[in-house]
Structure 1
Amino acid sequence: MIEAWSVGPLVLERYEFEPGQIVPLPPHAHEAIQVCLNSGSGGQYRYRGGTHSFAPESLTIINSGEAHAPGYKGEFAQPTSFRMLYLPPTQLQTLAHDLMPQPVQEPFFVELIQGLSPAARLLRLAHDSLQFAPSNLSTETYLLLFQAALLYYHVGDRVRPRRWTDDHPALRQVRDFIHDQYHVPITLAELADVACLSPYHFVRLFTRRYGVAPHQYLNQVRIDRAKPLLLAGHRVGDVAKQVGYFDNSHFTRHFHRIVGLSPGQYRR
């Protein structure tokens, strides 16, 4: 099974293989930086003149323009998945200029196999978020934090990002914006514009100030607004649309996670 999504300039793919299935590919290169998080059987890459084996749950990163090919031997021993992200180098360079006190130059990544890191978890969260909505505030946030984690943990000669205070007066203005516009789609760029901050700095400061990421705060506001509508007898599907969810399953998932009951159970 293969699924693919585009989120702005980023392309994400998910490959699912049954045991025993192998898909040989010739050496090739991408203009984008290729990031892969695998689970199941692990795998191999032929890269930079050698064959490199990686364990399950490893994060692998191939720089822009560098030839590579899968180097599998034998078969997948168990169901195996590959969560891919293709990241334009200019995208990462722009974020690096925003975060780092000194320039970060290409090639960004010295090592192919990165192992476990916060970046791996964020890539998994971004992929999981895409299963429920092709592009939304949570997906955008996870992808932005993922890119920042790449810079912080994995670039060669990495440096610590600049420190920023979380006492920023624009955050209350953003909070008010969410309370006013919760019923329509809200993007990360919109919220960052309201705060007059870069998207990364906005997410970081907002999370420090309110204890949750912007998309989590938005979901809480939507659920809070949904409760009185449900108690007033409105249909679940109508409530979902009124508070900003595009379908019942999306609404039900968030409602149950926050409240501990389904919307139908809550209204009884």
Structure 2
Amino acid sequence: MSGVPEVLHARFHRHAYPMHAHDTWTLMLLDSGIVRYHLGRHEHGVMTSFVTLLPPGVPHDGKAAGPGGFRKRVVYLDDTQFGPGLVNAAIRTPSFADPLLRRRVHQLNVALARRTENLEAASRLAMIRERFLGLLGDAPAAPGHRAGLAHDLRDLLDAQVVEGVTLEDAAQTLHSHPTHLVRAFTREFGMPPHQYLTGRRVERARRLLLTGEPPARAAVLAGFYDQSHLARHFRRMLGTTPGRFAGLKSTGRPTE
């Protein structure tokens, strides 16, 4: 995904990182254990309730603070995600015990792991970026509620159900900031844009199945990556698999 050059999920029992630096921002969740590290000549500790953002170009180390090691999930973000003006703020306060932020970073990891939910991942990242900007003291002024913008984005999604649209392209087309787009759409329609697009694709696949298209072909024609990608969303929305739906539609029996 654009802006995310690497994702790392790892567990370490004894390994201790020596001092080193990345050329990316390091967004980390700790799923087990406690980690101690040095950053900017200060020692810090990380627990599982924290979200940590380490700035690029600043040396740090890291090791487990207990005998059980630690397990972490890291998303590396390129320098387009946060400006250089936030480096010093991140050095001063690299970790936050913020439940909402932690949930959003977890959701980003889940979306990235699937490798099929680019719009969802971009939307999650936009909201994470906004949260950090607020916590680090560089939040942009909040825009007013723009129903027209939300409807413009819906029209754009409706016009590209199969092809899809990236959040960055939508923002450029609609002359808005990606985070503003996500917020305006969610406020107006009660769901984020990626969820709306997925629902439209499921409905398209459903119609294709009713015309006799096999599930694998219906998945691709509806804009899904493959049949398993369709099946996951189809079951969640309709309570059955595409194959079972296709088999039941000719009998007239309910598909719940």
- Using structure 2 for the length normalisation, give the TM-score: 0.85
After superposition, residues 214-253 of structure 1 pair within 5 angstroms as 214-253=193-232
Question: Quick one: which amino acid aligns to residue 27 of structure 1?
Answer: M
Task: Report what 1:107 is aligned to.
Answer: 88
Deviation at 1:134, TM superposition (A): 5.9
172-181 or 211-220, which moves further after superposition?
172-181
Is 2:7 aligned against 1:26? no
| DSSP 3-state at the match of 2:29 | strand
The aligned counterpart of 1:93 is 83
Residue matched to 1:129:
111
How far apart, CA to CA, are the structure 2 residues paired with 1:131 and 1:105?
Answer: 28
Partner residue of 1:100? none
- Matching residue of 1:83: 73
Q: Decide whether the 8 Å contact of 1:206 with 1:213 is kept in 2.
A: yes
- Per-residue CA shift, 1:74-119, capped at 9, x if unaligned? 5326xx531212334453239xxxxxxxxx6541322233123322
**Contact conserved, 1:38 with 1:83, CA < 8 A, in 2?**
yes
Query: What is the deviation of 1:138?
Result: 0.8
Q: Does 1:146 align with 2:125?
A: no
Letter in 1 for 2:75: L
Check 1:169–1:28 CA distance in 2 against 1; reply closer, same or farther (3 A cut).
same
How many residues are paired up? 246
Q: Deviations over 1:214-239 (max 9, x none)?
A: 11110011111121222233211111
Q: Counting helix residues as a fraction of each chain, which structure ranks higher?
A: 2
1-structure distance, mates of 2:110, 2:120: 10
Root mean square deviation, CA, Å: 2.4
Deviations 1:111-146 (A, max 9, x none): 233123322222211111112226611111111111
Equivalence for 2:2:
8
Whether the aligned pair in 2 keeps the contact of 1:237 and 1:247 (CA below 8 Å) is yes
Q: Is the CA contact 2:34–2:64 (under 8 Å) kept in the aligned structure 1?
A: no
Compute the TM-score of the two structures, normalised by the length of structure 1. 0.82
Asked whether the 8 Å contact 1:48–1:67 carries over to 2, the reply is yes
* Residues 44-193 of structure 1 mapped to structure 2, 5 A cutoff: 44-76=36-68, 80-93=70-83, 106-109=87-90, 110-133=92-115, 136-152=118-134, 154-155=135-136, 158=137, 161-193=140-172
Deviates more, 1:166-175 or 1:113-122: 166-175
Q: Give the aligned residue type for 2:29.
A: L
Q: Is it true that 1:38 corresponds to 2:19 in the alignment?
A: no
Q: Distance in 1 between matches of 2:32 and 2:131?
A: 24
Unaligned segments of structure 2, at least 5 residues: 249-256
Unaligned runs of 5+ in 1: 1-6, 95-103
Task: Give the aligned residue type for 1:107.
Answer: N
Percentage of matched positions with identical amino acids: 25
Which range moved further: 258-267 or 48-57?
Answer: 48-57
Alignment partner, residue 254 of structure 2: none
CA distance in 1 between partners of 2:190 and 2:117 (Å): 23
Determine the C-alpha separation between the residues in 2 that align with 1:106 and 1:27. Answer: 18
Offset at 1:27? Answer: 0.5
Task: Describe the SS at the equivalent of 2:17.
Answer: coil
For residues 209-268 of structure 1, what are the alpha-carbon distances to aligned partners after superposition, in whole Å with 9 as ceiling and x for unaligned? Answer: 111111111001111112122223321111100100011111111111222222123221
